[in-house]
Chain A
Amino acid sequence: MLTAGHVNFSVLGADRQALTNCNRLSAQLYCAPMRFWHRPDLPAVNETNLRAIVRPTSKDTRPVNLDLGTIQLPVTAYASIAHRVTGVLMFFASFLLLWALDRSLASEASFDALSEVLSSPFAKVVMWGVASALTYHALAGVKHLVMDTGVGETMRGGVIGARIVFSAAFTAAILWGVAIW
């Protein structure tokens, strides 16, 4: 029996280490939903699944597992995360693109100066990174548009779509490298 605030609850099948883990968090714990109590084959509580069955105080009593590091993600999840990461990257890269547009159109002298700057090895790496990130983001965006039409909405379709996007973006990154160097 553990005490969390004014609520008492028991953890079935818990070993001594698990109880210690529970106690460490007990100040913030509250009762897990009833359905967990009545499961006949309740798994032993450990550091990993403890977070799945009990969580810090909230009005919401649904169990959640917030520790992404303990979850094995499908390829669709990596496609989604990469879409977000490249999107945030493009927000910052837009500054560089606008700067380049500004320099390229200000005058012929600034256009030549920009060409000079962009021919440096560091600038080429940045250009390759921005072009590759933008290409991935665009391809993943097109995948979204395709899925909006109802094509590839199943788990299997999503996995295939994510693999196509990753392969195409990888190929594009190589082609950008060839074009830049």
Chain B
Amino acid sequence: MVTSVTSFSRTGLSDWLIQRVTSIILLAYFLLIAYQLMGSVDYTSWARLFEQTWMKVFTLMAALSLAAHSWIGLWSVFTDYLTERMLGPKGNVIRLVCQLGASLALVGYVIWVVVIIWS
């Protein structure tokens, strides 16, 4: 259970639920984006869409969902494959470095979205 200190919410049950909720938010968001991109899209209508408050909020929700969803997903992958049994004595160090890198990238993604949407 030592590895669970790096999981998203510390408990598997809670991670499980967060993974489902965020997946539905992301699915809805990507369906909306795919719908918008169907046919020709021009700058004016695209920019007008992202000027609306609900779209800014929805985009931020999607970004936060992406961060949580990726954290949980990557944690599952890392703790399965980047282990001492798979990689030898350096396994735990490699896993923690990857988790740190992924976490920083995800925080960066969220900040980037905030900058894009509110500037």
Contacts and interface: CB of A to CB of B under 8 A. Distances in A.
A1 B6 CA distance: 44
Interface residues of B, number: 22
A111 B46 CA distance: 10
Interface in A154-173: none
Interface string B73-92: 11011000000010000000
Given A108-B43, A134-B30, A141-B23, A91 B102 contact: yes
A138 B43 CA distance: 28
Nearest to A98: B112
Contacts of A148: 20
A175 B66 CA distance: 25
B43 A102 contact: no
B23 A102 contact: no
Main secondary structure of the interface of B (DSSP, over half): helix
Interface residues of A, number: 23
A101 interface: yes
Interface in B6-59: 20, 23-24, 27, 30, 43, 46-47, 50
A133 to B, nearest CB: 12
Main secondary structure of the interface of A (DSSP, over half): helix
Contacts of A108: 43
Contacts of A66: 85
Contacts of A87: 70, 73-74, 77
Contacts, number: 53
A88 B43 contact: no
Nearest to B38: A179
B74 A111 contact: no
B113 interface: yes
Contact of A138 (B27, B47, B73): B27
A91 B70 contact: yes
Contacts of B47: 105, 111
Contacts of A61: none
A104 interface: yes
Nearest to A138: B27
A98 B77 contact: no
B77 A105 contact: no
Contact of B74 (A88, A104, A112): A88
B7 to A, nearest CB: 16
Interface of B: 20, 23-24, 27, 30, 43, 46-47, 50, 66, 70, 73-74, 76-77, 85, 102, 105, 109, 112-113, 116
Given A66-B85, A90-B70, A134-B30, 4 more contacts: A101-B116, A111-B47, A138-B27, A145-B20
5 contacts: A88-B74, A88-B77, A91-B74, A94-B66, A98-B116
